[in-house]
């Protein structure tokens, strides 16, 4: 009876040893992958800083502080958008936690929406009211603080 009990305990101890050793080797491999990601610049912090740059790039104004929707300015913003989309696509997010991957896809969705706005919607070329709304005429009496 005790021989069988010793055999069961030996099996349990051996199994625990194998699980612990494989977990520590997986942790070491994970640290190596994290270091490789940090070297490539594929970190979540890179995504956040890229998104901040992307948001700031959309505020193109001319020399007097008025938004510039001339054809050359729009073409330049579209080219900048394409560069941001390429940088975003170059990020390797496979090792990121799910919540960070969700943020990546949200940034990608926003960039896709801006690309659609530039490629299809084009309100600066199709909507005469676009300029009056952007200029502050429509809704100038509404104060944002009241909402």
Residue in the block written with tokens 């809704």: 139
For residue 25, the model assigns a pLDDT of: 44
Q: State the pLDDT at residue 24.
A: 44
How many CB atoms neighbour CB 62 within 10 A? 11
pLDDT of 125 reads 85
Distance between CA atoms of 139 and 135, rounded to whole angstroms?
10
Q: Cα(96)–Cα(47) distance, rounded to whole angstroms?
A: 11
What confidence score (pLDDT) does residue 101 get? 96
Residue 61 confidence (pLDDT): 76
DSSP 137: -
Site of tokens 């942790």:
27
CA distance 112 to 67: 22
Residue 22 is encoded by which pair of tokens? 């494989």
- The full DSSP string for 27-86 is HHHHHHHHHHHHHHT-SHHHHHHHHHHHHHHT--B-TTS-B--SHHHHHHHHHHHHHHHH
pLDDT of residue 140: 45
For residue range 71-108, list pLDDT tens digits in order: 898 999 999 999 999 999 999 999 999 999 999 999 99
pTM of the full structure: 0.60
Q: Where are the domains of the chain?
A: 1-40, 41-138
Give the pLDDT score at 7.
52
3 state SS of 140? coil
pLDDT (tens digit, 9 = 90+) per residue, 11-69?
444 444 444 444 444 444 445 434 443 444 689 999 999 999 999 887 777 778 777 88
Return the closest-CA partner of residue 70 out of 124, 136, 135.
124
Task: Please report the pLDDT score of residue 120 as a whole number.
Answer: 92
């Amino acid at each position: 009876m005790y021989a069988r009990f010793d055999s069961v305990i030996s099996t349990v101890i051996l199994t625990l040893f194998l699980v612990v050793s494989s977990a520590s080797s997986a942790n070491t491999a994970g640290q190596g992958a994290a270091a490789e990601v940090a070297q490539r610049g594929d970190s979540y912090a890179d995504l956040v800083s890229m998104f901040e740059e992307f948001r700031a790039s959309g505020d193109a104004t001319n020399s007097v502080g008025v938004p510039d929707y001339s054809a050359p300015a729009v073409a330049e913003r579209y080219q900048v958008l394409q560069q941001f989309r390429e940088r975003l696509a170059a990020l390797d997010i496979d090792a990121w936690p799910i919540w960070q991957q969700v943020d990546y896809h949200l940034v990608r969705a926003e960039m896709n929406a801006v690309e659609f706005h530039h490629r299809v919607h084009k309100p600066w070329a199709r909507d005469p009211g676009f300029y009056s709304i952007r200029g502050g005429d429509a809704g100038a009496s509404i104060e944002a603080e009241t909402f």
